[in-house]
Amino acid sequence: MTAAPLPPPAAPLIDPFARAIRYLRVSVTDRCDFRCVYCMSEKMQFLPKKELLTLEELDRLCSAFIRLGVEKLRITGGEPLVRRNIMEFFRAMTRHLDSGALKELTLTTNGSQLGKYAEELYAAGVRRVNVSLDTLDEEKFARVTRWGRLPQVLDGIDAARAAGLQVKINTVALKGFNEDELFTLTEFCAARGMDLTFIEVMPMGDIGNEDRIGQYWNLAELRHTLGTRYSLHDLPDRTGGPARYVRLGETRQRVGFITPMSHNFCESCNRVRVTCTGEIYTCLGQEGHSDLRGPLRESEGDAGLERAIHAAIALKPKGHDFDYDRQEVSGRVSRHMSHTGG
């Protein structure tokens, strides 16, 4: 008997600027148990649950991207760990890690649920998590998150580390808010062997009375201040994201800088984002997007879905237009960060 021929390999995802798409960030929910002032308005109108992709649809979608060459999958939200039964999805993705097709499965979280899920995440193959933490002051933490409790997050970080997860702290640099904690946050991470990445605030969504320009702290200034206490050594390290890293000579820790405003990093962009409703955004800082939910639901097969993914990648722009020059916010996008995924 003649063996059936193997199917042809899936065509890789290459954008119009010859960048291979290897990194997918998927938001599994727009809901969150915090209301961070730079991310959401306090009275958010969340999507009807019927509009969200089911866990089975998220599996099909991510599996299609992995067949097309995606090697790193980051799960985001909202807060991904508030999605009901989300660990079923993580356990399903383990098969792609076991096969070797997926090189890394990671998570971005506010840390509030890590105490509950850290061990299960490790068992599912997650080895690194990014935790958003903008202050170590309990009162300021309550103010910036509106609904969050700092001790719960710190306990979650401890639980993640105890479970064997490598933790990286992501801190949004906020003028007049956490400038005075630059060294405190750095020392906190150094003492626990955690990388620390600072992020410039981005003009995304209506956040009510919050002042975008007033929030903006240029990371060139932050880096200069950091250099008054530590020796900074540039590193070639890349983790698949936009951060550029230095090593502090005195503590040996890595500190990263994500600078969408002051320094455009688009030339090396290898990632796309998919929302919890199946919209694919090929650039965080552009409004353009394509629908993948329709093709996903139109057929039990994935041929149409894969065609839609390729068509979306063909529209990926060269870069974003975020700018705070002249004390005006330009390049603003209307959707909240929680819709696209952090």
- Kindly report the CA angle at 202 between 44 and 221, in degrees rounded to 5? 140
Confirm whether residue 255 is marked as ligand binding.
no
For residue 306, give the amino acid letter: E
| Rounded CA separation 21/103 (Å) | 14
Confirm whether residue 272 is marked as ligand binding.
yes
Confirm whether residue 39 is marked as ligand binding.
yes
Confirm whether residue 108 is marked as ligand binding.
yes
Tracing tokens 């090697």 back to the chain, one arrives at 71
Confirm whether residue 128 is marked as ligand binding.
no
Confirm whether residue 132 is marked as ligand binding.
yes
Confirm whether residue 25 is marked as ligand binding.
yes
φ/ψ (deg, to 5) at 173: -80, 115
**332 within 8 A of 203, measured Cβ to Cβ:** yes
Confirm whether residue 333 is marked as ligand binding.
no
Confirm whether residue 225 is marked as ligand binding.
no
Contacts 24+ apart (CB under 8 A), 186-189: 186/226, 186/230, 186/248, 186/251, 186/253, 186/255, 187/251, 188/136, 189/253
Confirm whether residue 318 is marked as ligand binding.
no
Cis (ω within 30 of 0) for the bond into 78? yes
Confirm whether residue 283 is marked as ligand binding.
yes
Confirm whether residue 266 is marked as ligand binding.
yes
Confirm whether residue 168 is marked as ligand binding.
yes
Residues contributing to the annotated binding site: 25, 32, 36, 38-39, 74, 78, 108, 132, 168, 202, 266, 269, 271-273, 283
> Residues comprising the binding site for [4Fe-4S] cluster?
32, 36, 39, 266, 269, 283
Please report, in range form, the residues annotated as the binding site for S-adenosyl-L-methionine. 38, 78, 132, 202
Detail the residues annotated as belonging to a binding site for GTP. 25, 74, 108, 168, 271-273
